Amino acid sequence: QSALTQPASVSGSPGQSITISCTGTSIDVGEYNYVSWYQQHPGKAPKLMIYDVSNRPLGVSNRFSGSKSDNTASLTISGLQAEDEADYYCSSYTSSSFPYVFGTGTKVTVL
Amino acid sequence: QVQLVESGGGLVKPGGSLRLSCAASGFPFSDSYMTWIRQAPGKGLEWVSYISPSGSYTNYADSVKGRFTFSRDNAKNSLYLQMNSLRAEDTAVYYCARLVTTTVIDYWGQGTLVTVSS
């Protein structure tokens, strides 16, 4: 199972909005509404930001939102803040023999 | 308060073995699917394996299938990852984590570093 494709880096100025894409195929992102997004700061464990495409766990800022169209899921961060600078990974359920796959990861830089 | 604490990482030679442990607390462990995820230095996240609440079902990524064994002891709230025939490409931080649903990880440990090198 190949990793989902994410842009290596995305940047934006404080207050701006950015969107990170996560492109899969018809057996993962396109097939299931089971896309999650995780934020990882350097040296730390990942943190769940979005699950089931567009749901936010309790405690996650509403500046984070998720969506999906066909084989591509997206994470949008609005009102970008310095603390949002981190790596972001998507993950999807898949119909492969091992049913989980991560994205390649995106480094978000706040200019 | 949920806690997942990994241990057992270290330096091992290629072809060697290592057993990782993960001690869990603060949630209904015996009702939870659990998973191991790893991250090579400077690289992305990779699913390794997951286990059913009873321990009767496990599944493995192709990269570790036949070499790694995931088990659990619900009486001790503990997970174990037996890693055999280790290769340089197994070098990574290994995280244990809880699957709150079959597709969503809500809690992660702090990770333990495994280095495979001669």
pLDDT tops 80 at residue A1: no
Nearest to A45 among B44, B60, B109 (CB): B109
**For residues B5-32, average pLDDT:** 97
What is chain B's mean pLDDT, rounded?
97
Chain A residue numbers touching B111 (CB-CB < 8 A) = 45
Predicted confidence at residue A106, as pLDDT, reads 98
Interface test with A, best of B37, B39, B45 (most A CBs within 10 A): B45
Residue with tokens 């200019």: A111
According to DSSP, the β-strands at B78-83 and B18-25 are antiparallel
Under 8 Å CB pairs connecting chains A and B tally to: 57
Gyration radius (Cα) of chain B, Å: 13
**For residues B10-16, average pLDDT:** 98
B66-89: pLDDT as tens digits: 999 999 999 999 999 999 999 999
Structure tokens at B60: 């493995």
Predicted confidence at residue A73, as pLDDT, reads 98
B36-70: pLDDT as tens digits: 999 999 999 999 999 999 999 999 999 999 999 99
A77-108: pLDDT as tens digits: 999 999 999 999 999 999 989 999 999 999 99
Predicted confidence at residue B102, as pLDDT, reads 81
Predicted confidence at residue B29, as pLDDT, reads 96
pLDDT tops 90 at residue B35: yes
Confidence of residue A2 (pLDDT cuts 50, 70, 90): confident
Rounded to the nearest angstrom, the minimum Cα separation between B21 and chain A is 17
Rounded to the nearest angstrom, the minimum Cα separation between B113 and chain A is 12
Which among B59, B75, B14, B93 has a CA at the least distance from the CA of A42?
A: B93
Residues 40-79 of A with CB under 8 A from B: 40, 45-48, 51-52, 57
A25-84: pLDDT as tens digits: 999 999 999 999 999 999 999 999 999 999 999 999 999 999 999 999 999 999 999 999
Asked if B45 has any chain A CB less than 8 Å from its own CB, the reply is yes
Confidence of residue A6 (pLDDT cuts 50, 70, 90): very high
Query: DSSP string spanning B45-100?
Result: EEEEEEE-TTSS-EEE-TTTTTTEEEEEETTTTEEEEEE-S--GGG-EEEEEEEES
Instruction: Answer whether B47 sits within 8 Å of A102, measured CB to CB.
Output: yes
